Chain A
Amino acid sequence: MKINLLRILVFVFAVFTLSIFLLSLNKVKVYDTQNLVGKNISSFELKSLDNEATINEESLKKNKYTLINFWASWCFPCRAEHKYLIKIKKNSKNLKILGINFKDKEKDAKKFLKEFQNPYYFLAKDYDGKTSINFGIYGIPESILIDENLMIIKKFIGPINNEDFNVIMKLTE
């Protein structure tokens, strides 16, 4: 077999393609928006659950850390994470939680909080869900940890568990 540049190139290309295939085989296919970490949240304005106040990014600047939590009474995984939110509220001094009630009904939301306790310092509502897009949310539950400069420190997609709880406590010490 004669060896020339073209042939070597063809071989190299074949090897390259096959190794890329091999590499991608073992990749995790879940896509998330971790690239938002390190950036600031955009400005927003939401009505509080009881319609009495408006909450915007300025309200969060007073806190050292804020955990923005998207939840709803109809969402089952939200129930699972709820006890950790309560735990965070009890154990953390620097952190306050902003609960955004997502595509819910006021009555159901209030009943839910009555039943499972209220971990939220602020409580806002987003009943058409439009603000969630502004935060880069897919579905709920999803939580975003920000600092006093409104910079995103970490994102939690899916319900918060014990491990996440420890991470949050460490980050906000």
Chain B
Amino acid sequence: MFKFFFIYFYILLSLQSFSFAENKKLENEIYKNLRCLVCQGQSVADSNSDFAQTLKLVVKDKIKEGKSKKEIYDFLTKKYGEWIVYKPKFNRYNFLLWFLPYLTIVFGGIVIFILLKKRKNQRTN
């Protein structure tokens, strides 16, 4: 059994030495994370609207200027508000959004643990 563990971790480690890179284009990734504000629930990547076309041009320019993903998102949120990005920031208002799902998984784990423990007690009784 230990031999298998050994082999497994060996493979896993050898994998780590390669670069884990996303082979995605930065601009496409950014387009997908921007809401087309004049459309009904479409991303800029999916929209043919005038607004989306202009936004695509601006994003391309910013990438050429060497701006990072974060800088581009910050620039656009400054202009259009948080509504434009599909990934809400982690801040005072949004911390519950990011936090509650994990809370449920912890809570669920505790419930299951208690149920199993109860069972043990019943057996000893």
Interface residues of A (CB under 8 A from B): 31, 33, 35-36, 103, 128-130, 132-136, 138-139
B window 28-67: CB within 8 A of A? 37-38, 50-51, 53-55, 57-58, 61
Q: Are A138 and B37 in contact, with the CB atoms below 8 A?
A: yes
Q: Which residue of B lies closest to A31 (CB)?
A: B83
Query: Which single member of A31, A33, A130 contacts B79 (CB below 8 Å)?
Result: A33
Main secondary structure of the interface of B (DSSP, over half): helix
**Residue of A35, A128, A135, A138 touching B51 (CB-CB under 8 A):** A138
User: Is B90 part of the binding interface, using a Cβ–Cβ cutoff of 8 Å?
Assistant: no
B8 CB to closest chain A CB (Å) equals: 44
Size band of the interface chain B makes with A: 10 to 19
- Provide the B64-87 mask, 1 if CB < 8 A to any CB of A, else 0: 000000000000100111010000
Contact (Cβ within 8 A) B58 A133: yes
By secondary structure, the A interface counts as loop
Q: In chain A, what residue has the closest Cβ to B81? A: A35
Given A103-B54, A130-B58, 10 extra CB contacts under 8 A: A33-B80, A35-B81, A132-B54, A133-B55, A133-B76, A133-B79, A135-B79, A136-B80, A138-B37, A138-B38
The chain A residue with its CB closest to the CB of B60 is: A130
C-alpha gap A136/B83 in the complex (Å) = 13
A129 contact set on B, CB distance < 8 A: 50, 53-54, 57
- In the assembled complex, which residues on chain B have CB atoms less than 8 Å from the CB atom of A135? 79
A130 to B64, CA, bound (A): 14
Which residues does chain A contribute within 8 Å of B38, judged by CB atoms?
A: 138-139
